[in-house]
Amino acid sequence: MSSLNTCVKAHCVEHLGDPAIPLEELRLASEKFRREVGDRIFEKRLLRAVALFAGSVFVMRNFGELMAV
């Protein structure tokens, strides 16, 4: 949320005399914020998947003979 606030505040400082923020500028700031959040969510999910895979490899290497049926 801070990224969106920063974009909106920066725009407001640039246009102090304007009574309102143009809708197009607000839409662009919103899209930028959504892309940044989406990237962070993707990276978090990717990191979780890699960690689960590495953990399963570790468990199978160390305790595979105990898990054999």
pLDDT band at 55 (very low <50, low <70, confident <90, very high): very high
Nearest to 1 by CA among 33, 48, 41: 33
The pTM for the full model equals 0.48
Structure tokens at 59: 């468990």
**43 and 69 in contact (C-beta within 8 Å)?**
no
- How many angstroms separate the Cα of 40 from the Cα of each of 29, 45, 61? 17, 9, 32
pLDDT tens digits for 4-42?
Answer: 555 555 555 555 555 677 788 888 888 888 888 888 888
**26 and 8 in contact (C-beta within 8 Å)?**
yes
